[in-house]
């Protein structure tokens, strides 16, 4: 146990913060601890937290993907425009929407993994460019009138009280957890995040792993975009705008190092849970959305500043034996 | 290319080699802008009118100022994503002050806006330079934080034009001198003069040159004893100050200010700087380049929408592509310049990504490295 | 010369890193207008000494006196203010700034406004003084390494240095460039600067130095005027130990030739390298840092492929364009740079041991068989006697010797047929060193062909069946076990006529 604690100090801190928030929220509202509220908690941010899972991989690998929110909008726009043109079955439009996300990831991945451009710049261009593409497709229209089954999937529970998006999230989370912590791919992601050179000298195909990561990131964002469209019942060019901030914050708050190489899915899940609870609690206390965003911004700064300060105090001690 | 063995310099084309890559980039940009103006002139009727010129020149002001500040930070291998929010905060607070003190003149208002922006920039600089947090994280956080503070302060109330002093609404129209239909507006003049002032400072002041040095090779900068933390801090303060000035311009241009004022400008400013040849790897690029980058973006933006085939919604898509092209050219230039015969083969890909994401701050474990 | 007052005196300097003794009671005196060479094997303490002089490390004991005044230096900027500057093998330049700016950027005394014309003129003057034909206005990025070093020397002169430290400045220069560098050094000496010259090539040291100090194992061995010492004496002082101090390799038969290398070359790095290694053979590579040994290894491992010549494995000609190609043929490479290229230190011992063999543990759905992983890791940890609290301990928490063994375990887990070991015992303690030697011998006896690159000459001689001496990118001699004496191999490696 003490071994676990020494290696998962950050997760332990998060756990305490989480418990405190839950107690605080329960004190604010008698309905807070109900199962319905639990479902609601996730449902309201479900698209973001699906993308968080993929983003964790990207950041552990030492890269970043700023474009995810724009890719969400782009995918939804592709789907919606195909629905309007009406030439193909809507299910196919959904598939094309999700694939558009994967394609966006592929293009960015090629520029990063094969040409060697920094992911920060490529995905910044992606952030602007794919949002632009969504606007080109939709202009200032709002497209709704999706088939009834689609809206129902997005807006109503599927299994008992649980909606489809939540099922998808937990399925993705389970797979991602296993892949990151037990899979060969996950191991490579950590190794590359620590040192791409060490990975290369060990015969690991570094650029192949990076390329696949960005494709998966795009695919996930595409899926999230389509799910968001179903929940909203309509698509605009601005769908999911500025979500990237929340998404990256949750990953970093989960103890994933911005320099890559460290972090656990457990920590990320705790961070997701914490952020959702804090937002929920602030909502219960009648604090508006933009204020909640500010709190998330503060959390982001704190989640990097605090370990930095701890690290610095530790490095003042005598250097470890060579 | 023939290389003389003695110095490794190409002797034949001395003049061309002597021309700094920055000059090359600036001239190229001027060429591209001229070329696109001429092309649009053929495609669009009445394109080359004074009215259109005036529109471009006034609309480029805000992005141009922000791009200048952004370039200041990028040159040191950092980035400032909070400038849009800082612009909004400065615009709103200044507007609020003016509404309460309607006798205030433009100069005092501008100073207030700049002070507000500098304060926000100092907060960023503190966290980046002394807190050792990567700039992208700090400014992503303050992007949200500044906006939230503004929203709290405003309480959802907009500042409307009718509460502001009269000079505000005319400020954008003030013309210094006209050449026929072509006006030189005060706002444009201020933007160009401050931009060129900063350009001069970076080219001529010891302080400016050291910013380049830090971005070019942080390790060597440390060895040379340059005050890295202090310089990076002041670069962020500078970026904040320019965001403050942009906020003042924003207030004067729009008149009505909401809590979302200036949102999205951070990306446009990064785009303008990168398109203007400011290297995202740090150490290279000029303020003049950033201003030209902003001008190119605005010219394309305002011209494309006048083409019947292109809708206004193309704006961001074009911007995204422009950034990529800018970075690709920069990468190509860099690979061509650094041709170190032996060392190059060993390190795998030349340069590491600069703006902090790849930069390791982990303490190395004090071992003898012999 | 020794009449004049010393400019810098280091006395009784000691420095330890954990249990490793880097410097022990080392004293050194520098006089103005002398070139003082410091020579010694890798690990002798040369770099540590420089780093103490420039304030990167602080000494545990001892003092530093500059022009009669006791000084303490806590960073390189302070050292520079005191007039101590250093030039390294890889020049520390600002690639995006012009040559003139590179020279003057660190100056505090030139006012707040840059006077470009004056600066360019002054830079031109400085460069001319050094007989360097470099345009002060071009970007430093476009210069060759040699010219960049010239710029650094100009910078040092402009700062009015009293002590200039040159850390292996010739390592990546051609013979012609070395000549020019030495001219610059001589003109500096004439102007009264004290130059501390760290060199590996003895002929260069003899050409340039007035006095030579030998360090060995962190201790001061001798300081002698150049004209009173011979290369043979220096080599003996540098090596110091006898081969008999080492583990001696057991006799055993050598099998089929596994690896044949014919006229291998890479432009500007090494050329015409040919050798063969048999099953169970240990082929030693002796030579100085920068002789091209590591570059040959990197070509064999596919990191930096050769552009001429051929490589045959089991008689079949192969192309090696990536480490994956090499590993597929059973070629493994233990890097000299453990931290940067060898281990992922934040990760567990198990993860590091299985790093190069993940495929073996991966099931059809991409999951790792962690039980098999731990079994293999445990086996190797026991076999190599790696001291670790557990298999899941991050490698960063192990000592240097155990980290080195972990890296060896990683490559043994590949079951290589050809194993290239690059400085396998550098920077580890005596006990771990003996262990590593034992394992290398065991490995050879199990039939693996081993290429052993080491700058520790007695180690190479004790361990190898045959020894290749390399110098300046070429093989200068291959010695059988009975012909390979320290003097012969060292002579071939340092290149005396």
Comparing B53 with A311, the larger pLDDT belongs to B53
pLDDT in tens, B310-319: 777 787 888 8
Specify the CATH class of B21-334 in words.
mainly alpha
Query: Contact B149/B92 with Cβ under 8 angstroms?
Result: no
Tell me what percent of the residues of chain C surpass a pLDDT of 90.
Answer: 49
Tell whether A60 is within 8 A of chain B (Cβ): no
Please give the residue of chain B at the shortest CA–CA distance from C147.
Answer: B7
- Inter-chain Cβ pairs, chain A and chain C, closer than 8 A: 87
What rounded mean pLDDT belongs to chain A? Answer: 88
Tell whether A315 is within 8 A of chain C (Cβ): no
Q: Provide the pLDDT confidence category of residue B12 given band limits of 50, 70 and 90.
A: very low
What rounded mean pLDDT belongs to chain B? Answer: 82
Comparing B4 with C54, the larger pLDDT belongs to C54
Tell whether C327 is within 8 A of chain A (Cβ): yes
Comparing C70 with C248, the larger pLDDT belongs to C70
Q: Provide the pLDDT confidence category of residue C391 given band limits of 50, 70 and 90.
A: very high
pLDDT in tens, A221-258: 999 999 999 999 999 999 998 888 889 989 988 989 88
Contact assignment for A319 to C361 by CB distance below 8 Å: no
Backbone dihedral region of B226: left (phi > 0), alpha (psi from -120 to 50 degrees) or beta?
A: beta
Does the pLDDT of residue B6 top 50, yes or no? no
Comparing B194 with B22, the larger pLDDT belongs to B194
- Chains with 3+ CB–CB pairs under 8 A to B are A, C
Tell me whether 0.85 is exceeded by the ipTM. Answer: yes
**Can you tell me which residue has the tokens 């604010």?**
A28
Comparing B155 with C321, the larger pLDDT belongs to C321
pLDDT in tens, C154-202: 888 888 889 999 988 887 677 778 888 898 899 889 989 999 999 877 8
Comparing C17 with C206, the larger pLDDT belongs to C206
Tell whether B181 is within 8 A of chain A (Cβ): no
Q: What's the Cα-to-Cα distance from B316 to each of A103, A237, C190, rounded to whole Å?
A: 19, 11, 64
Please tell me the least confidently modeled range out of A22-31, A202-211, B337-346, C426-435.
B337-346
- H helix or E strand, kind and range, residue C28: strand C20-30
Q: Provide the pLDDT confidence category of residue C243 given band limits of 50, 70 and 90.
A: low
Contact assignment for B9 to C135 by CB distance below 8 Å: yes
Tell whether A110 is within 8 A of chain B (Cβ): no
Q: What is the dihedral of CA C167, C172, C177, C183, to 10 degrees?
A: 10
Q: Provide the pLDDT confidence category of residue B357 given band limits of 50, 70 and 90.
A: very low
Comparing A284 with C461, the larger pLDDT belongs to C461
Q: What is the pLDDT of residue B60?
A: 93
Does the pLDDT of residue B269 top 80, yes or no? yes
Residues in Cβ contact with B101 at an 8 Å cutoff, skipping those fewer than 6 apart? none
- H helix or E strand, kind and range, residue A289: helix A289-316
Nearest by CB to residue B8, choosing from C42, C137, C143, is C143
Tally of CA atoms within 13 A in the half-sphere of A231 that contains its CB:
22
Instruction: Provide, as residue numbers in chain B, all residues whose Cβ is less than 8 Å from the Cβ of A305.
Output: 127, 131, 133
Interface of B with C in 212-251 (CB under 8 A): 212-213, 215-217, 219-226
* Listed residue (C163, C55, C155, C38) closest to C97, CA to CA: C155
Q: What is the pLDDT of residue B336?
A: 66
Nearest by CB to residue C346, choosing from A194, A320, A321, is A194
Q: What is the pLDDT of residue B10?
A: 39
- Chains with 3+ CB–CB pairs under 8 A to A are B, C
Q: What is the pLDDT of residue A320?
A: 34
Tell me what percent of the residues of chain B surpass a pLDDT of 90.
Answer: 42
Please tell me the least confidently modeled range out of A105-109, C162-166, C431-435.
C431-435
Q: Which fold has domain C8-239?
A: Rossmann fold (3.40.50)
Please give the residue of chain B at the shortest CA–CA distance from C142.
Answer: B337
What rounded mean pLDDT belongs to chain C? Answer: 88
Give the mean model confidence (pLDDT) for residues A162-190: 95
Does the pLDDT of residue C380 top 90, yes or no? yes
Interface of C with B in 231-270 (CB under 8 A): 266, 268-269
pLDDT in tens, C196-240: 999 877 888 999 999 999 998 889 999 999 999 888 788 778 776
Tell whether A202 is within 8 A of chain C (Cβ): yes
Q: CB-based burial of residue B308 (10 Å sphere; 0-12 exposed, 13-18 middle, 19+ buried)?
A: exposed
Give the C-alpha separation, C74 to C78, whole Å. 7
Give the C-alpha separation, C194 to A267, whole Å. 57
pLDDT in tens, C110-124: 778 888 889 999 999
Hey, what are B30's tokens?
């001027």
Q: Identify the three-state secondary structure at position B279.
A: coil
Give the C-alpha separation, C352 to C409, whole Å. 9
Contact assignment for C370 to A178 by CB distance below 8 Å: no
Give the C-alpha separation, C47 to C23, whole Å. 10
Please give the residue of chain A at the shortest CA–CA distance from B320.
Answer: A129
Does the pLDDT of residue B370 top 50, yes or no? no
Residues in Cβ contact with B289 at an 8 Å cutoff, skipping those fewer than 6 apart? B22, B25, B26, B29, B71, B273, B276, B277, B278
Give the C-alpha separation, C336 to C42, whole Å. 12
Tally of CA atoms within 13 A in the half-sphere of B95 that contains its CB:
31
Q: Provide the pLDDT confidence category of residue B355 given band limits of 50, 70 and 90.
A: very low
Q: What is the pLDDT of residue B340?
A: 36
The answer to whether the Cα torsion of C139, C141, C143, C149 is positive or negative is positive
Phi, psi at residue B40, to the nearest 5°?
Answer: -65, -35
- Inter-chain Cβ pairs, chain A and chain B, closer than 8 A: 168
H-type alpha helices, C165-266: 175-190, 202-208, 231-239
Q: What is the pLDDT of residue B111?
A: 97
Q: Which residues, listed in sequence order, are joined to residue C311 by a DSSP beta bridge?
A: C261, C318
Tell whether C293 is within 8 A of chain B (Cβ): no
Q: Which fold has domain C243-494?
A: Rossmann fold (3.40.50)
Q: What is the pLDDT of residue C242?
A: 55
Q: What's the Cα-to-Cα distance from B165 to each of A291, B91, B102, B168, rounded to whole Å?
A: 31, 14, 5, 6
Q: What is the pLDDT of residue C172?
A: 67
Q: Provide the pLDDT confidence category of residue B337 given band limits of 50, 70 and 90.
A: low
Tell me what percent of the residues of chain A surpass a pLDDT of 70.
Answer: 95
* Listed residue (B358, B81, C397, B128) closest to A257, CA to CA: B358
Q: What is the pLDDT of residue A313?
A: 62
Q: What is the pLDDT of residue B279?
A: 87
Q: What is the pLDDT of residue B177?
A: 85
Comparing A102 with C156, the larger pLDDT belongs to A102
Extents of the domains making up chain C: 8-239, 243-494
Hey, what are C183's tokens?
């001219």
Give the mean model confidence (pLDDT) for residues A48-76: 96
Q: Which residues, listed in sequence order, are joined to residue C222 by a DSSP beta bridge?
A: C214
Q: What is the pLDDT of residue B57?
A: 86
Which CATH architecture best describes the domain A2-308?
Answer: Orthogonal Bundle (1.10)
Does the pLDDT of residue B8 top 60, yes or no? no
Q: What is the pLDDT of residue C262?
A: 95
- H helix or E strand, kind and range, residue C26: strand C20-30
Give the C-alpha separation, C103 to C128, whole Å. 14
Comparing A251 with B348, the larger pLDDT belongs to A251
The whole-angstrom distance between B47's CA and the closest CA on chain C is 40
Best interface-test mutation with A: which of C51, C343, C366 has the largest number of A CBs within 10 A? C366
Instruction: Provide, as residue numbers in chain C, all residues whose Cβ is less than 8 Å from the Cβ of B277.
Output: none
Please give the residue of chain C at the shortest CA–CA distance from A176.
Answer: C367
Please tell me the least confidently modeled range out of A41-55, B75-89, C426-440.
C426-440
Contact assignment for B225 to C90 by CB distance below 8 Å: no
Instruction: Provide, as residue numbers in chain C, all residues whose Cβ is less than 8 Å from the Cβ of B341.
Output: 144-145, 268
Does the pLDDT of residue C444 top 60, yes or no? yes
Extents of the domains making up chain A: 2-308
Does the pLDDT of residue A186 top 70, yes or no? yes
Q: What is the pLDDT of residue C235?
A: 78
pLDDT in tens, B120-161: 999 999 999 998 888 988 998 899 899 989 988 988 889 998
Query: Contact B60/B294 with Cβ under 8 angstroms?
Result: yes
Residues in Cβ contact with B198 at an 8 Å cutoff, skipping those fewer than 6 apart? B68, B72, B238, B242, B287
Q: What is the pLDDT of residue C142?
A: 81
The full length of chain C comes to: 497
pLDDT in tens, A129-158: 999 999 999 988 999 889 999 999 988 888
- Checking DSSP bridges between strand C331-334 and strand C219-225, what pairing results, if any? unpaired
Give the C-alpha separation, B246 to C139, whole Å. 34
Does the pLDDT of residue C131 top 90, yes or no? no
DSSP string, C318-355: E---SHHHHHHTTEEEE-S-IIIII--TTSBHHHHHTG
Give the C-alpha separation, C314 to C257, whole Å. 7
Q: Provide the pLDDT confidence category of residue B7 given band limits of 50, 70 and 90.
A: very low
DSSP string, B161-206: GGGS-HHHHHHTT-EEEEETTEEEEHHHHHHHHHHHHHHHHHHHBH
Contact assignment for A322 to C358 by CB distance below 8 Å: no
């Amino acid at each position: 146990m003490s071994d676990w604690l020494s290696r998962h100090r950050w997760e332990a801190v998060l756990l305490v913060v989480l418990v405190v928030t839950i107690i605080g929220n329960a004190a604010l509202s008698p309905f807070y601890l109900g199962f319905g509220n639990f479902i609601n908690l996730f449902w309201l941010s479900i698209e973001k937290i699906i993308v968080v899972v993929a983003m964790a991989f990207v950041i552990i690998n030492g890269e970043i993907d700023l474009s995810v929110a724009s890719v969400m909008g782009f995918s939804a726009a592709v789907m919606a425009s195909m629905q309007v043109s009406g030439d193909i079955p809507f299910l196919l439009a959904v598939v094309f929407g999700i694939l558009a996300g994967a394609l966006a990831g592929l293009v960015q991945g090629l520029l990063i993994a094969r040409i060697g451009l920094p992911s920060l710049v490529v995905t910044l261009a992606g952030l602007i460019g794919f949002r632009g593409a969504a606007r080109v497709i939709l202009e200032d229209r709002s497209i709704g009138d999706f088939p009834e089954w689609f809206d129902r999937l997005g807006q109503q529970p599927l299994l008992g009280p649980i909606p489809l998006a939540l099922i998808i999230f937990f399925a993705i989370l389970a797979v991602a957890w296993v892949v990151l912590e037990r899979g060969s791919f996950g191991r490579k992601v950590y190794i590359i995040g620590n040192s791409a050179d060490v990975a290369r000298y060990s015969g690991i195909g570094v650029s192949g792993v990076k390329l696949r990561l960005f494709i998966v990131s795009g695919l996930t964002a595409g899926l999230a975009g389509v799910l968001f469209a179903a929940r909203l019942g309509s698509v605009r060019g601005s769908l999911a705008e500025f979500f990237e901030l929340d998404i990256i914050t949750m990953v970093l708050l989960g103890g994933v190092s911005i320099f890559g190489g460290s972090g656990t899915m457990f920590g990320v899940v705790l961070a997701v849970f914490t952020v959702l609870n804090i937002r929920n609690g602030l909502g219960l206390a009648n604090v508006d959305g933009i204020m909640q965003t500010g709190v998330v911004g503060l959390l982001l700064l704190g989640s990097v500043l605090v370990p930095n300060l701890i690290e610095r105090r530790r490095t003042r001690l005598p250097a470890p034996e060579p | 290319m023939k290389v003389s063995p003695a110095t490794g310099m190409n002797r034949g084309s001395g003049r061309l080699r002597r021309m700094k890559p920055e000059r090359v980039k600036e001239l190229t940009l001027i060429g591209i802008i001229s070329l696109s103006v001429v092309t649009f002139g053929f495609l669009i009727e009445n394109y080359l009118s004074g009215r259109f010129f005036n529109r471009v020149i006034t609309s480029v002001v805000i992005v141009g100022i922000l791009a200048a500040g952004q370039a200041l930070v990028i040159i040191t291998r950092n980035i400032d994503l909070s400038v849009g929010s800082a612009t909004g905060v400065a615009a709103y607070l200044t507007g609020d002050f003016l509404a309460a003190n309607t006798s205030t003149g433009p100069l005092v208002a501008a100073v207030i806006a700049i002070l507000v922006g500098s304060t926000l920039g100092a907060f960023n600089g503190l966290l980046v330079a002394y807190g050792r947090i990567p700039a992208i994280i700090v400014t992503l956080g303050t992007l949200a934080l500044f906006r939230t503070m503004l929203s709290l302060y405003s309480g959802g109330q907009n500042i409307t034009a009718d509460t502001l002093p009269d000079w505000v609404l005319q400020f954008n129209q003030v013309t210094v001198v006209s050449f026929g239909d072509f006006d030189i507006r005060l706002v444009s003049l201020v933007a160009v003069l401050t931009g060129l002032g900063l350009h001069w400072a970076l080219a001529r002041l010891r302080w400016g040159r050291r910013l380049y040095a830090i971005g070019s090779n942080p390790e060597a900068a440390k060895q040379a004893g340059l005050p890295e933390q202090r310089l990076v801090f002041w670069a962020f303060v500078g970026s904040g100050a320019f965001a403050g000035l942009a906020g003042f311009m924003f207030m004067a241009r729009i008149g009505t200010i909401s809590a979302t004022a200036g949102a999205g400008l951070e990306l446009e400013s990064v785009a303008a700087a990168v398109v203007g040849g400011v290297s995202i790897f740090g150490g290279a690029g000029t303020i003049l380049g950033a201003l030209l980058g902003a001008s190119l973006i605005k010219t394309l933006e305002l011209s494309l929408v006048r083409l019947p085939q292109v809708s206004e919604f193309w704006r961001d898509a074009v911007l995204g592509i422009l950034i990529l092209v800018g970075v690709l050219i920069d990468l190509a230039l860099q690979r061509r310049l650094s041709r170190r015969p032996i060392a190059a083969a060993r390190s795998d890909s030349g340069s590491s990504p600069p703006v902090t994401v790849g930069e390791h701050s982990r303490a190395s474990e004090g071992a003898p490295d012999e | 010369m020794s009449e004049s007052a010393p400019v810098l005196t280091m006395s009784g300097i000691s420095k330890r890193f954990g249990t490793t003794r880097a410097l022990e009671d080392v004293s050194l005196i520098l006089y103005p207008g002398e070139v003082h060479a410091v020579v010694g094997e890798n690990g002798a303490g040369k770099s540590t000494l420089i780093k103490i002089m420039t304030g990167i490390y602080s000494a545990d004991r001892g003092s530093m006196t500059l022009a009669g005044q006791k000084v303490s230096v806590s960073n390189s900027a302070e050292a520079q203010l005191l007039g101590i500057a250093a030039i390294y093998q890889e020049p520390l330049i600002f690639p995006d700034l012009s040559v003139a700016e590179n020279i003057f950027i660190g100056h505090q005394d030139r006012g707040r406004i840059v006077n470009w014309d004056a600066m360019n003129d002054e830079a031109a003057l400085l460069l001319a003084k050094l007989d360097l034909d470099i345009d002060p206005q071009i970007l430093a990025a476009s210069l060759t390494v040699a010219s960049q070093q010239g710029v650094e020397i100009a910078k040092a002169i402009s700062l009015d240095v009293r002590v200039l430290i040159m850390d292996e400045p010739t390592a990546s220069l051609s013979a012609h460039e070395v000549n020019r560098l030495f001219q610059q050094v001589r003109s500096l000496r004439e102007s009264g600067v004290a130059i501390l010259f760290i060199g590996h090539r003895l002929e260069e040291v003899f050409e340039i130095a007035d006095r030579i100090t030998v360090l060995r194992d962190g201790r001061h061995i001798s300081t002698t005027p150049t004209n009173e010492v011979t290369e043979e004496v220096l080599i003996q002082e540098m090596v110091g130990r006898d081969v008999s101090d080492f583990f001696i390799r057991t006799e055993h038969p050598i099998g089929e030739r596994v690896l044949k290398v014919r006229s291998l070359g890479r432009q500007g790095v090494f050329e015409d390298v040919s050798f063969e290694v048999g099953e169970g053979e240990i082929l030693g590579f002796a030579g100085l840092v920068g002789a091209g040994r590591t570059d040959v290894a990197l070509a064999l491992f596919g990191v930096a492929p050769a552009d001429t010549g051929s490589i045959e494995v089991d008689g079949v000609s192969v192309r090696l364009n990536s480490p994956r190609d090499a590993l597929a043929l059973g070629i493994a490479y233990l890097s000299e740079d453990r931290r940067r290229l060898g281990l992922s230190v934040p990760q567990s011992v198990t993860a590091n041991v299985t790093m190069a063999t993940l495929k073996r543990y991966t099931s059809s759905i991409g999951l790792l068989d962690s039980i098999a992983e731990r079994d293999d890791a445990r086996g190797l940890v026991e076999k190599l006697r790696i001291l670790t609290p557990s298999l899941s301990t991050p490698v960063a928490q192990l000592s240097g010797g155990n980290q080195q063994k972990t890296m060896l375990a990683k490559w043994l887990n590949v079951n290589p047929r050809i194993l290239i070991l690059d400085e396998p015992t550098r920077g580890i303690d005596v006990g771990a060193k003996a262990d590593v030697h034992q394992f290398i011998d065991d490995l050879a006896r199990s039939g693996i062909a081993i290429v052993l690159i080491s700058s520790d000459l007695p180690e190479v001689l004790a361990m190898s069946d045959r020894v290749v001496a390399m110098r300046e990118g070429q093989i200068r001699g291959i010695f059988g076990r009975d012909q390979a004496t320290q003097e012969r191999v060292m002579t071939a490696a340092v290149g005396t006529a």
